[in-house]
């Protein structure tokens, strides 16, 4: 009989942020291809005898290539197995979920998608930052600044607009360049930020400050990946609305 | 003993998209203050003897004012009850979660926040639209165009940029005005859209087309709220990657 693939968003790390559908998919899986960043607590919720294969990427190098992941998906689905492709966060927000579905569709493999709590939404909730508080922001924009090519082609003037919240999925190494470009394009140096390390996990840390001192604050506190940056007037609320873990 | 409030995102409607934490909060609640749009299937997961109070807003008029919601939260928490404030989607994405937390903090009421799957993420997953597919988009921006004041002050030039995905939380009445402003500010009339009605629910419908015929396509198919608009090159993938409900 034909196998199938369920593309599942695992959320940010706290297993309590899995959806009921994600839990069911993990319970029914024969094999789980998971990113490196999916937490052990989440994997513990899978069927005991499911095969687990780590296919994650690490910053800087690829553990398994995208083509390699496609080949694994195909091989296991063609063997009639129920495959779960488990990704951190949501599969369609800076995942490669779209590419994997295009490949499966070409190959005629049936699939479903289970959305997950993406890092920006999780970190905002756990840091007390209302992303679109109507007194301060009209929109929220999710952007990544991981690779040189994306940094060079982003419309920095649009990113530097006031009254919008930016949620930046990024490595902490890029903070200096991000600050320089945003200020150069008109964002006020006094714009508040909240930088959330290990969002939703017991060791969550929230570092706050202004765009002017972003890189120095991050360096002083030795913030490491995974971290999410929220930039905009709403980030100032992290101080007054904090409820989880160490206050900033 | 002191009561408390858990601000919970209920997701888009499919009860399978509740998180495990949200389910636990519903199981432990003494009283649930819920928006009108939270589905009956979600409310069915709450403790049998929990008091349910609908405080939702309907487009056009307010069923309970924001001040009225604050007063209810305070009264029940001060009575020592475990209060769940249940909102559609995520509490911090076009909810009023921030305002409610500010009020609770002022009043000294302890609270927690449980994020939810916001409509854009849910609709994208169920319509097969990879929001940030790297071949087509560098960012995704969530915006609302519900009220006149927000439409007048939005930076339409930034919204009309290429290579970004827009997810518009809106009433279907505003589609003509949205199209006019985006085209006027430079977005190509050939930009694909996917308009998702009742996203993730059994009666989900996905209408596709281009910005040029957005209002007419929506009117022809009599699309009604709640609906979410995804605009950008990635929306064209809704046709090839569809897997849930009626294909577009």
CB A60 within 8 A of CB A2: no
**Residue A209 structural domain:** 119-241
Q: Specify whether A80 is located in the same domain as A46.
A: yes
Percent of chain A exceeding pLDDT 70 equals 93
User: Are A240 and B21 an interchain contact pair (Cβ–Cβ within 8 Å)?
Assistant: no
The tokens for A241 are 């609305």
Is A6 a residue whose pLDDT tops 90? Answer: yes
Q: Pick the more confident residue, A248 or B168.
A: B168
Residue B17 falls inside a structural domain: yes
Confidence of residue A149 (pLDDT cuts 50, 70, 90): low
Q: Pick the more confident residue, B238 or A134.
A: B238
Listed residues B50, B79, B114: the one ending a domain: B114
Listed residues B114, B145, B167: the one ending a domain: B114
Q: Distance from B133 to chain A by nearest Cα, in Å?
A: 6
Domain count for chain B = 2
Q: Specify whether A83 is located in the same domain as A173.
A: no
Nearest 5°: the CA angle B61, B65, B70 is 155
Q: Specify whether A127 is located in the same domain as A49.
A: no
Q: Specify whether A109 is located in the same domain as A128.
A: no
Is B147 a residue whose pLDDT tops 60? Answer: no
Residues of A in contact with B143 (CB under 8 A): 138-139
Mean pLDDT on B56-76: 78
Q: Specify whether A145 is located in the same domain as A174.
A: yes
Is A57 an annotated catalytic residue? yes
Residue A247 falls inside a structural domain: no
Confidence of residue A62 (pLDDT cuts 50, 70, 90): low
Rounded Cα gap, residues A100 and B82, in angstroms: 43
Residue A219 falls inside a structural domain: yes
Query: B224: which residues sit within 8 A by CB, 6+ positions away?
Result: B172, B197
B116 to chain A: closest CA residue: A117
Token look-up 């009639």 returns A80
pLDDT digits (tens, 9 = 90+) for B219-247: 999 998 889 999 999 999 999 999 998 88
**Residue B30 gets which letter from DSSP?**
S
Closest CA to A202 of A54, A93, A41, A57: A41
User: Are B133 and A243 an interchain contact pair (Cβ–Cβ within 8 Å)?
Assistant: no
Q: What is the pLDDT of residue A247?
A: 81
Residue B139 falls inside a structural domain: yes
Q: What is the pLDDT of residue A148?
A: 56
Q: What is the pLDDT of residue B148?
A: 56
Confidence of residue A64 (pLDDT cuts 50, 70, 90): confident
Of A115-124, A190-199, A220-229, the range with the lowest mean pLDDT is A220-229
Q: What is the dihedral of CA B73, B75, B79, B84, to 10 degrees?
A: -10
Rounded Cα gap, residues B26 and B42, in angstroms: 9
Residue A102 falls inside a structural domain: yes
Q: Distance from B113 to chain A by nearest Cα, in Å?
A: 6
Q: Specify whether A81 is located in the same domain as A124.
A: no
Closest CA to B100 of A215, A128, A108: A128
CB B17 within 8 A of CB A19: yes
Which A residues in the span 68-127 are in contact with B, Cβ-Cβ below 8 Å?
A: 90-94, 96-99, 101-102, 105, 110-118, 121-122, 124-126
Residue B130 falls inside a structural domain: yes
User: Are B142 and A138 an interchain contact pair (Cβ–Cβ within 8 Å)?
Assistant: no
Here the ipTM equals 0.94
User: Are B141 and A138 an interchain contact pair (Cβ–Cβ within 8 Å)?
Assistant: no
Q: Specify whether B37 is located in the same domain as B133.
A: no
Least CB–CB distance from A93: residue in B128, B132, B164: B132
Rounded Cα gap, residues A106 and A113, in angstroms: 16
User: Are B92 and A16 an interchain contact pair (Cβ–Cβ within 8 Å)?
Assistant: no
Q: Specify whether A23 is located in the same domain as A92.
A: yes
Tell me the H-state helices in chain B: 20-28, 40-43, 66-78, 97-107, 119-127, 148-153, 156-159, 175-184, 214-220, 237-241
Which B residues in the span 150-179 are in contact with A, Cβ-Cβ below 8 Å?
A: 150, 153-155, 157-158, 161, 163-164
CATH number of the structural domain spanning residue A127 = 3.30.950.10
Catalytic residue set of B: 35, 57
pLDDT digits (tens, 9 = 90+) for B95-139: 889 999 999 999 999 999 999 999 999 999 999 999 999 888 889
Which of A115, A124, A137, A204 to probe the B interface (max B CBs under 10 A)? A115
B213 touches chain A (CB under 8 A): no
Residue B246 falls inside a structural domain: no
Q: Specify whether B196 is located in the same domain as B128.
A: yes
Mean pLDDT on A78-88: 97
Mean pLDDT on A126-150: 85
Is it true that the peptide bond before B226 is cis, omega within 30 degrees of 0? yes
Q: Specify whether B97 is located in the same domain as B131.
A: no
| SS3 state of residue B190 | coil
Listed residues B92, B114, B136: the one ending a domain: B114
Is B70 a residue whose pLDDT tops 80? Answer: yes
Confidence of residue A65 (pLDDT cuts 50, 70, 90): confident
């Amino acid at each position: 009989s034909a196998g199938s693939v369920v593309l599942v968003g695992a959320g940010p790390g706290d297993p309590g942020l899995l959806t009921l559908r994600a839990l069911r998919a993990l319970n029914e899986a024969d094999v789980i291809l998971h990113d490196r960043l999916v937490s052990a607590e989440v994997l513990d919720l899978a069927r005991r005898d499911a095969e687990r294969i780590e296919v994650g990427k690490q910053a800087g190098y690829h553990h398994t290539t995208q083509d390699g992941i496609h080949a694994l998906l195909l091989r296991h689905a063609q063997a009639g197995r129920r495959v779960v492709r488990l990704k951190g966060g949501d599969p369609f927000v800076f995942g490669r979920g779209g590419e994997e579905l295009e490949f499966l569709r070409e190959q005629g493999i049936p699939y479903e998608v289970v959305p997950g709590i993406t890092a920006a939404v999780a970190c905002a909730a756990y840091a007390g930052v209302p992303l679109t508080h109507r007194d301060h922001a009209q929109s929220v924009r999710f952007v990544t600044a991981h690779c040189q090519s994306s940094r060079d082609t982003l419309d920095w003037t649009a990113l530097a607009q006031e009254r919008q919240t930016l949620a930046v999925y990024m490595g902490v190494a890029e903070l200096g360049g991000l600050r320089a470009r945003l200020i150069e394009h008109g964002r006020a140096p006094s714009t508040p930020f909240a930088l959330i390390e290990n969002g939703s996990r017991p060791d969550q840390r929230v570092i706050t400050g202004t765009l002017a001192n972003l890189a120095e604050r991050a360096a002083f506190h030795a913030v490491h990946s995974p971290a999410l940056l929220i930039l905009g007037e709403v980030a100032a609320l992290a101080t007054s609305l904090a409820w989880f873990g160490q206050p900033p």
